[in-house]
Amino acid sequence: MTEIKPTNCHFCGYCCAFLATVEDGRVVSLEPDPTRYPYDERILAGCRRWKMNLDVLDGPRRVNYPIKRAGERGSGEWERVSWDEAFDDIAGRLTGLRERYGSGTLASMIGGPHASFWPLHRFMSLFGSPNNMGIGQICWNPRIWMDAITFGWTVEADIRFGLTRALFIWGTNPAQSDNSAFWQTIRAVGASDDMALVCVDPRYTQIAAIADLWLPVKPGTDCTLALAMLNVIVSEGLEDAEFVGQWCHGFDELVEHVRPYTPEYAGAFCGVDPQDIVKVARLFAEGRTALVSGRGIDQVGKSVAPTHRAICCLRAVTGNVDREGSCILAEASDFTSEVDFELSDLLTDEQKELCLNTPFAPLQCFEGYDLVREQTEKLGRRLPMRYMTSASPDLVLKAMETGEPYRVSALIVNATNPLLTYADTNRVYRALMGLELIVVLDYYITPSAAVADYVLPCAGAIERPIFQIHGGVANTGYGGPAAVEPYYERKTDYDIFRELGLRLGQGQHWPDETLADAFATQLAPTGWSWQDYCAIGIYHVPPAPEKHAMLRADGTPQGFATTSGKIELASELLPKLGGQRLPEQGPFMRLCSEGLVARLSERGGHHVEMLTGSRKQPYNASMYLDNPKFRARTPGPVVEMSEAMAENLGFAAGDTVELETDFGKARFTLALAPMRDDVINVDYGWWHPERGVPHAPDFGGIWESNVNTLTSCEMQEQLIGTWAYNAIDCMITKVDDSLTWDTI
């Protein structure tokens, strides 16, 4: 029987709508469905990934049955087991480990937003462990935390032609990381005479190329740049005096604070022309300004919180908060928010205390969460708890390695490939190899799955329903239904955690039998049924501007959900956590000891600044590398530097270079690309999926060109515990060998 079924791609966050032609439970073809979100065929025209869907759905590398380690850890020997056998054994072993070491002994790791993570988090809450590790500290959380602390909730850019006068793209590159709808908007801004486009990025990206002004900041100096822009604004009296007077707390202190940050001082520190700082400051204050920031400034380590705080202040003093055309405070969701679905409130105080971040990251922990929650709840909102309290990888790895403060003995790895994407691969590898139980949920036997005890086969796009929400900080969710039942014996992540949970006595907290039922429960408060939602593919309520001025029942404006009820330029809350009342630039994370620098300098090495992981289409972190068409065009990992830098250091395009820090080494091919002349840009995520099932000792080639062998997860930032993937240093040396990357 042939049927046409609505469904979605999930190779990136757009979750585009498709129609699947299904014959006898198998998808035979897939067509874009412009009648559902994102309603736009141009997105697909610009997308190189979607045609992979059928190959991925039934590809030769997919894991289709639960498998259990049969030899030594990492040996590559596996045996197929039944789901019952896998669930019973895992549940039994987890119970035993919990009895021996306490409930914190189970840790989890997640990666990018590939799936809904609340099923894992619910399982962990009910198991009694607070120890989730995620990417929050280096992606998303810093902005969310600082927005919530400064404005009382998070803000979303509101770019409006005819109203917005300037768009700042700061430390993000949607041309490669989001090359669909948003990149099209930026291109339209670039082409428009009414809206100026400013790009703050050490690299001359596609956005820099179409921008009115490119500020090539030195990595990690953005806090100083923003403070200098504030200096220009307040010394020239360009602030929005009315908004500041009515809605900002601590303006006079801020004025004093930014006095030393002159354009000349910042120009020298940030490596940009002081005149350009003056220009962009004036532009920022001139009219409605929208700003979008990203990973570039989320991953700068020590300065991460102050950088976001300085940007918050910039927005506030220019009146660019909660206003159309600048940024608008997001809405709380009408559907059940993530925090209520993950059941973190069921953790007892004793269990919360086990969390491996307190007191080292006083904000990114349950105590910090509660302090901010007291504020956000003034306007009835709560941040997702698990992301915002996620444990520090540094401390969890230490607990795995040393048993201090207690033994972490078991790990669930859900939708992440930590041997490529977590910092300090050597350390992650050593810690994982010493564990008693590792359970990986993935589509493939990745290098990280290769060291597991169990690999559980997950259902992916097309075979599972999707309700993609933004961590619960917006009133938007999109996606649609599965077109088919999961192929072979695959299960959704939800089914896996539920069935494990049922075996551990969590039954009452998993009332919904399927993921689609759970999504229906989640949507219920909106009044929409699952079918209503699937027909449209999105539940979206646009945020209303000027919420702070809306009147309460007693006739007073509701203001901002902060300690003072105003936007806190000077923070009343952060000093309580040991943080800064006003933002100050921090030092940089250094990965090379003097000894290393001296030793490699003698061999012709150079000590340089590096950025890692700048996004590039068509790949995504460690994924899609086995696509032959992609590899034909982008065959291997590169280190990029400017032509002038290469000439200066005596390198040429195509050279093989070795990068080294105190943590490890990796080799790359040198390529030339326009950027600052004192920075290199290093690819991340590279391994050899095409070589078959990874196993010891090389695990599919993770020791060759994996930039995270160079990085460190040591906590840098004093509030959130952020480590650094940018604004770090390394030694670069030319070597004679060639690399093993080739087209496949």
Ligand X SMILES: Nc1nc2c(c(=O)[nH]1)N[C@H]1C(S)=C(S)[C@@H](COP(=O)(O)OP(=O)(O)OC[C@H]3O[C@@H](n4cnc5c(=O)[nH]c(N)nc54)[C@H](O)[C@@H]3O)O[C@H]1N2
Do the Cβ atoms of 528 and 522 come closer than 8 Å? no
258 binds, among ligand X, Mo ion, ligand SF4, none (CB under 5 to 8 A by kind): none
Contact set for ligand X, span 706-725 (CB under 6 A): 707-708, 711, 725
Least distance CB 139 / Mo ion (angstroms): 4
- Establish if 622 lies at the interface with ligand X (CB under 6 A): yes
Block residue for tokens 């005096």: 241
50 binds, among ligand X, ligand SF4, Mo ion, none (CB under 5 to 8 A by kind): ligand SF4
446 binds, among ligand X, Mo ion, ligand SF4, none (CB under 5 to 8 A by kind): ligand X
Q: How far is CA 400 from the centre of its chain?
A: 24
Which CB atom, from 33 or from 158, has the smaller least distance to ligand SF4? 33
Q: For binding to Mo ion (CB under 5 A), which residues are involved?
A: 112, 139
CA angle 58, 60, 62 (to 5 degrees): 70
Of 318, 213, 317, 229, residue with least CA distance to 270:
229
617 binds, among ligand X, Mo ion, ligand SF4, none (CB under 5 to 8 A by kind): ligand X
Least distance CB 256 / ligand X (angstroms): 26
Least distance CB 114 / ligand SF4 (angstroms): 12
Helices 493-503 and 118-127 cross at an angle (nearest 10°) of 10
The kind and range of the H/E element at 428 are helix 425-433
Do the Cβ atoms of 215 and 276 come closer than 8 Å? yes
Per CB under 6 A, which region of 168-176, 468-476, 666-674, 712-720 contacts ligand X? Answer: 168-176
The kind and range of the H/E element at 168 are strand 164-170
- Establish if 7 lies at the interface with ligand X (CB under 6 A): no
Least distance CB 51 / ligand SF4 (angstroms): 9
Which CB atom, from 15 or from 230, has the smaller least distance to ligand SF4? 15
- Establish if 416 lies at the interface with ligand X (CB under 6 A): yes
- Establish if 421 lies at the interface with ligand X (CB under 6 A): yes
The whole-angstrom separation of Cα 362 and Cα 306 is 15
- Establish if 627 lies at the interface with ligand X (CB under 6 A): no
205 binds, among ligand X, Mo ion, ligand SF4, none (CB under 5 to 8 A by kind): ligand X
The whole-angstrom separation of Cα 180 and Cα 240 is 35
Q: Which of 357, 563, 726, 733 binds ligand X (CB under 6 A)?
A: 726
The whole-angstrom separation of Cα 17 and Cα 479 is 7
Q: How far is CA 372 from the centre of its chain?
A: 21
Least distance CB 355 / Mo ion (angstroms): 22
Least distance CB 140 / Mo ion (angstroms): 7
Half-sphere exposure (Cβ direction) of 44: Cα atoms closer than 13 Å = 21
Half-sphere exposure (Cβ direction) of 405: Cα atoms closer than 13 Å = 11
Contact set for ligand X, span 682-701 (CB under 6 A): 684-685
Block residue for tokens 């919990």: 98
Contact set for ligand X, span 443-482 (CB under 6 A): 443-444, 446, 458, 460
Residue 36 structure tokens: 């559902």
The kind and range of the H/E element at 516 are helix 515-523
Furthest-apart CA pair in the chain: how many Å? 76
Residue 3 structure tokens: 């049927």
Total binding residues toward ligand X, as defined by CB under 6 A? 61
Which CB atom, from 271 or from 460, has the smaller least distance to ligand X? 460
Q: For binding to ligand SF4 (CB under 6 A), which residues are involved?
A: 9, 11-12, 14-16, 43-44, 47, 49-50, 180
- Establish if 174 lies at the interface with ligand X (CB under 6 A): yes
- Establish if 611 lies at the interface with ligand X (CB under 6 A): yes
Which CB atom, from 182 or from 360, has the smaller least distance to ligand X? 182
Block residue for tokens 């493939």: 444
- Establish if 220 lies at the interface with ligand X (CB under 6 A): yes
User: Distances in Å between the alpha carbon of 456 and those of 461, 494, 648?
Assistant: 16, 12, 50
Residue nearest to Mo ion (CB): 139
706 binds, among ligand SF4, Mo ion, ligand X, none (CB under 5 to 8 A by kind): none
Tell me the one-letter amino acid at 494: Y
180 binds, among Mo ion, ligand SF4, ligand X, none (CB under 5 to 8 A by kind): ligand SF4
Do the Cβ atoms of 591 and 663 come closer than 8 Å? yes
560 binds, among Mo ion, ligand SF4, ligand X, none (CB under 5 to 8 A by kind): none
Do the Cβ atoms of 723 and 712 come closer than 8 Å? yes
Which CB atom, from 67 or from 347, has the smaller least distance to ligand X? 67
Q: Which of 104, 128, 190, 202 binds ligand X (CB under 6 A)?
A: 202
Least distance CB 112 / ligand SF4 (angstroms): 13
* Alpha helix ranges (H) inside 118-250: 118-127, 141-151, 174-177, 181-191, 206-210, 222-235, 241-247
User: Distances in Å between the alpha carbon of 344 and those of 87, 455, 456, 635?
Assistant: 23, 26, 24, 43
Helices 263-270 and 222-235 cross at an angle (nearest 10°) of 160
Which CB atom, from 43 or from 304, has the smaller least distance to ligand SF4? 43
Least distance CB 342 / ligand SF4 (angstroms): 25
Per CB under 6 A, which region of 134-142, 313-321, 480-488, 573-581 contacts ligand X? Answer: 134-142
Which CB atom, from 332 or from 536, has the smaller least distance to ligand SF4? 536
Least distance CB 558 / ligand X (angstroms): 32
Sort strands 106-110 and 78-80 into parallel, antiparallel or unpaired.
Answer: unpaired
16 binds, among ligand X, ligand SF4, Mo ion, none (CB under 5 to 8 A by kind): ligand SF4
Sort strands 567-568 and 454-457 into parallel, antiparallel or unpaired.
Answer: unpaired
Which CB atom, from 577 or from 659, has the smaller least distance to ligand X? 659
The whole-angstrom separation of Cα 654 and Cα 659 is 15
- Establish if 631 lies at the interface with ligand X (CB under 6 A): no
Do the Cβ atoms of 194 and 161 come closer than 8 Å? yes
Residue 688 structure tokens: 């050899």
Contacting positions for ligand X (CB under 6 A): 111-112, 114-115, 135, 138-139, 170-174, 176-177, 200-203, 205, 217, 219-220, 222, 294-297, 300, 414-417, 421, 441-444, 446, 458, 460, 493, 611-617, 619-623, 684-685, 707-708, 711, 725-727
